[in-house]
Amino acid sequence: MQSIVPSRRIKSFGRVGGRPLSPLQARLVETELSKFQILEVEEGFSPISIDDSKKEVWFEIGFGGAEHLINQAKANSDVLFIGAEPFLEGVAKAMRAIDSEKITNIRLINGDARPILENFQNACLDRIFILFPDPWPKARHHKRRLINDEFINLLARITKKGAKIRFASDWANYAEEALACFIKNPAFSWNAQSQKDWNIPPEDHFTTRYQAKKLGDCEPIFLDFTRL
């Protein structure tokens, strides 16, 4: 069965190329990536089938330099992590850490997460991270942002009851827009009780390289949601 990919999909990310890979990164991508890579899945795919010895499946969309993905996987060895990143250099960085630290509980997607997620079976993910996605700050580009009503509906379908979703951004209007999308969807509740719940990084968060660059127009905003 072929993977179902909607036609004329609007890209939610920009360039996917950058500096040349180092010789080590290039070797790992060429010789080792296939052991960890997910290329496509059939409709109704169950991600826990990748390794059913794990108790949960967590998914990170756009893992960038992989700092957060790698640290979460090391801190939660009983969880299967799937990370999607269209930027090849980010995938190469993940592979270097996987190789050097002998990490076995990560699988990688070098590309858009959406075609894979759309083929996942219902209620199969326990946690999702969407950390500092491309903000597309110009108003005319807002349609390219990952978070919209259609995507939130997809997240509602593929997450289990009680699943956690974390969105973070350092662009104020993107955080506001994402919050509005989540709270108007009856499948999710926002967990914040006070301002510190979105202004202070959660205890289980690992700082990303992008976050440290402070490229946005505000301090990082962390929004945690629960699937009802």
Residues annotated as catalytic (active site), given as ranges: 134
Gap between the Cα atoms of 63 and 200, Å rounded: 20
Within 10 angstroms of residue 27's Cβ, the number of other Cβ atoms is 15
**R_g over Cα of the chain:** 17
Within 10 angstroms of residue 67's Cβ, the number of other Cβ atoms is 21
Gap between the Cα atoms of 208 and 61, Å rounded: 13
With CA atoms as reference, report the closest residue to 24 among 123, 109, 93, 115: 93
Q: Give the pairing of strands 221-227 and 188-190.
A: antiparallel
